């Protein structure tokens, strides 16, 4: 049966290029800011931001982005995906301009929150448009390119940020977004066709509100716990409120005759298993990149630009293998490809358990390469399975669920693995801090960054403190890496138990499974 003559858009590959540009600006900015944090903390060359203010410069974006992803995916299906993408790009560009010229940390935090609104409007509709302009036989390959672009942006962000900071002022890391956004808006207006759900039905107002409140509360609790520890009532209270509201959301969606998300889809293996895989792999991977960055910059002494360059093997593997994953799925089946990808990811994370302060750097680069290759063969088949479980007009729902799970799981991974890192570090360095001045003791006990800052004021005692801090951090990294490897290995169990194999994926699940389940949403 020939599908290409009537289901694929004639300019679909050019449209994919435009969507990748739109996506790159969102993902790049989320990683590019990390290398600017030290500069932003400088009173002379930055804003003199405190540690808490720097954390919220990152987290205000994450909180708004995660909270609105699902809602904006649903609304994009209703009001028009092209329109939503252009509005999101315009908001993102305006917020980037406001961020670049912020005069205080508070202004930067507010501008970053506005960037979160724009980003939440951009990311889900890019995947929705891909599902609508590509026919099912090409969609897997297109999603592979999309996933490869995400991996490339994650690694290129620190390199670009380091290069900009070496030649320009801190605001350049935000200002660089503006010309890209302008080009994106023009290209979207000219090339991307409008699409929407032809039978949107009534708006599920209560469901939309519950999803926003639940995701924001859950994300806030995760972020607060990651910053201050999970022994605070505020963190657990926010997490429990978020989970309770999301449970209410699920119950409401089950009983509604016009749900924004048909939760019965989670009984369908084509949808539920890859959603779980996306959550597990991003929990493990984002946590590992968090401690990997500290390891390279502090323990190994590399600059932000050098650190970004050292992540290139991860980006290169994504760029090479992600677009080819669709062919691998056709040949071996999604279950086999995802199992191998998760196995490679788990092995790479477990390898960090054996990396020390003097491990040859080529070994670290090899580990990043293996991790990139593993993730390149997880995300495309998982995302394709999620998107194929829904009819095209409901693509925004699948995209929103996938991206929401990824964002929340990534934040959870950074928070929990970061807490493990901090707890083991503090336990291990305690004896080495005896006799230090109170201020130096508190700073060194807080984090390895604090230990390096304290050592700068200690004179002859500095080398001993730095050595103890490095040893404590490496030990903590080993524990966090072991936990992240276990989480990735859990994904293998999910794949083998519930992910459809080659025979099952050869039949389009959207036609056979999702349509009856979604009958009430039209």
Q: What is the 3-state secondary structure (H, E, C) of 104-173?
A: CHHHHHHHHHHHHHHHHHHHHHHHHHHHHHCCHHHHHHHHHHHHHHHHHHHHHHHHHHHHHHHHCCCCHH
Judge whether residue 214 has pLDDT over 70. Answer: yes
94-121 mean pLDDT:
88
Is there a domain that residue 175 lies in?
yes
Same domain, 40 and 129: yes
Q: What is the pLDDT of residue 5?
A: 55
Same domain, 249 and 389: no
Per-residue pLDDT of 256-299, as tens digits, reads 777 766 677 777 777 788 888 888 888 887 767 777 777 887 78
Same domain, 38 and 60: yes
Looking at 142, 159, 191, the residue that finishes a domain is 191
Is there a domain that residue 196 lies in?
no
Same domain, 48 and 168: yes
Grade residue 69 by pLDDT with cuts at 50, 70 and 90.
confident
Helix 12-32 to helix 105-133 angle (10° resolution) is 160
User: Over the range 146-175, which residues count as b (16 or more CB within 10 Å of their CB) and which as e?
Assistant: bbbbbbbbbbbbbbbbbbbbeeeebbbbbb
More confident residue, 379 or 520: 379
Rounded to the nearest integer, the mean pLDDT of the chain is: 77
Domain that holds residue 187: 10-191
Q: What is the CATH number of the domain that holds 472?
A: 1.20.1250.20
Same domain, 302 and 397: yes
Judge whether residue 244 has pLDDT over 90. Answer: yes
Q: What is the pLDDT of residue 98?
A: 92
Cβ contacts of 464 within 8 Å, gap of 6 or more: 432
Q: Which of 64-73, 121-130, 256-265, 381-390 has the highest mean pLDDT?
A: 121-130
Same domain, 169 and 294: no
Is there a domain that residue 1 lies in?
no
97-117 mean pLDDT:
88
Same domain, 427 and 284: yes
Is there a domain that residue 367 lies in?
yes
Per-residue pLDDT of 151-169, as tens digits, reads 677 667 777 777 887 788 8
Which SS3 state, helix, strand or coil, does residue 230 take? coil
Cβ contacts of 463 within 8 Å, gap of 6 or more: 455
Helix 269-294 to helix 334-351 angle (10° resolution) is 20
Same domain, 331 and 459: yes
Per-residue pLDDT of 430-476, as tens digits, reads 777 777 777 777 777 777 777 777 777 777 777 888 888 888 888 88
Grade residue 397 by pLDDT with cuts at 50, 70 and 90.
low
Same domain, 421 and 292: yes
- Nearest to residue 473, comparing CAs of 226, 292, 283? 292
Is there a domain that residue 511 lies in?
no
Is there a domain that residue 311 lies in?
yes
Looking at 239, 259, 279, the residue that finishes a domain is 259
Rounded-to-integer distance, Cα 170 and Cα 158, Å: 13
User: Over the range 50-87, which residues count as b (16 or more CB within 10 Å of their CB) and which as e?
Assistant: eeebbbbbbbbbbbbbbbbbbbbbbbbbeebbbebbbb
Q: Tally the domains of the chain.
A: 3
Rounded-to-integer distance, Cα 411 and Cα 432, Å: 32
Same domain, 289 and 357: yes
**Alpha helix segments (H runs only) across 295-393:** 304-310, 312-321, 325-332, 334-351, 361-376, 379-388
Per-residue pLDDT of 2-56, as tens digits, reads 444 545 667 778 888 888 888 777 777 767 776 676 677 667 677 777 656 666 7
Same domain, 172 and 248: no
Grade residue 180 by pLDDT with cuts at 50, 70 and 90.
confident
Is there a domain that residue 484 lies in?
yes
Is there a domain that residue 4 lies in?
no
Per-residue pLDDT of 307-319, as tens digits, reads 778 878 887 787 7
- Residue 408 corresponds to which tokens in the numbers above? 């929340």
Same domain, 255 and 280: no
């Amino acid at each position: 049966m020939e599908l290409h003559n009537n289901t694929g858009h004639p300019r679909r590959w050019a449209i994919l290029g435009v969507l990748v540009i739109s996506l790159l600006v969102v993902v790049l900015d989320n990683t590019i800011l990390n290398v600017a944090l030290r500069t932003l903390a400088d009173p002379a060359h930055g804003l003199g931001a405190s540690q808490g203010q720097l954390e919220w410069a990152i987290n205000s974006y994450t909180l708004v982005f995660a909270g609105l992803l699902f809602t904006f995916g649903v609304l994009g299906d209703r009001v028009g995906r092209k329109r939503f993408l252009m509005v999101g790009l315009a908001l993102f560009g305006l917020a980037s301009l406001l961020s670049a010229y912020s005069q205080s940390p508070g202004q930067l935090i507010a501008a970053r929150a506005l960037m979160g609104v724009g980003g939440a409007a951009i990311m889900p509709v890019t995947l929705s448009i891909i599902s609508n302009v590509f026919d099912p036989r090409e969609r897997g390959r297109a999603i592979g390119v999309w996933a490869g672009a995400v991996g490339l942006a994650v690694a290129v962000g620190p390199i670009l940020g380091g290069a900009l900071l070496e030649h320009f002022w801190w605001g350049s890391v935000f200002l660089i977004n503006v010309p890209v956004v302008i080009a994106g808006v023009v290209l979207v207006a000219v090339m991307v066709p409008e699409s929407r759900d032809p039978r949107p039905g009534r708006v599920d107002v209560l469901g939309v509100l519950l999803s926003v409140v639940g995701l924001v509360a859950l994300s806030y609790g995760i972020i607060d716990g990651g910053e201050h520890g999970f022994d605070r009532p505020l963190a657990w209270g926010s997490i429990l409120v978020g989970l309770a509201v999301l449970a209410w959301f699920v119950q409401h969606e089950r009983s509604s005759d016009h749900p924004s998300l048909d939760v019965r889809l989670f009984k369908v293996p084509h949808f539920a298993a890859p959603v779980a895989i996306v959550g597990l792999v991003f929990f493990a991977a984002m946590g590992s990149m968090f401690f990997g960055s500290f390891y390279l910059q502090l323990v190994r002494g590399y600059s932000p630009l050098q650190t970004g360059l050292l992540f290139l093997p991860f980006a290169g593997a994504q760029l090479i293998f992600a677009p080819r994953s669709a062919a691998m799925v056709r040949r071996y089946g999604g279950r086999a490809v995802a199992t191998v990808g998760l196995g490679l990811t788990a092995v790479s994370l477990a390898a960090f358990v054996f990396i020390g302060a003097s491990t040859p750097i080529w070994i670290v680069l090899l580990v990043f390469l293996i991790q990139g290759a593993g993730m390149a063969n997880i995300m495309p088949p998982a995302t394709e399975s999620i998107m194929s479980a829904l009819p095209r007009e409901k693509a925004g729902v699948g995209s929103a669920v996938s991206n929401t799970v990824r964002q929340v799981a990534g934040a959870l991974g950074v928070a929990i693995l970061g807490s493990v890192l901090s707890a083991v570090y503090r336990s291990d360095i305690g004896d080495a801090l005896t006799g230090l001045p109170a201020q130096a003791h508190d700073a060194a006990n807080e984090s390895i960054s604090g230990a390096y800052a304290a050592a700068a004021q200690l004179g002859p005692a500095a080398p001993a403190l730095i050595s103890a801090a490095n040893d404590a951090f490496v030990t903590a990294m080993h524990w966090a890496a072991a936990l992240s490897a276990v989480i990735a290995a859990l994904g293998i169990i999910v794949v083998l138990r519930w992910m459809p194999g080659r025979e099952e994926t050869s039949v389009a699940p959207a036609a056979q499974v999702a349509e009856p389940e979604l009958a009430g949403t039209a």
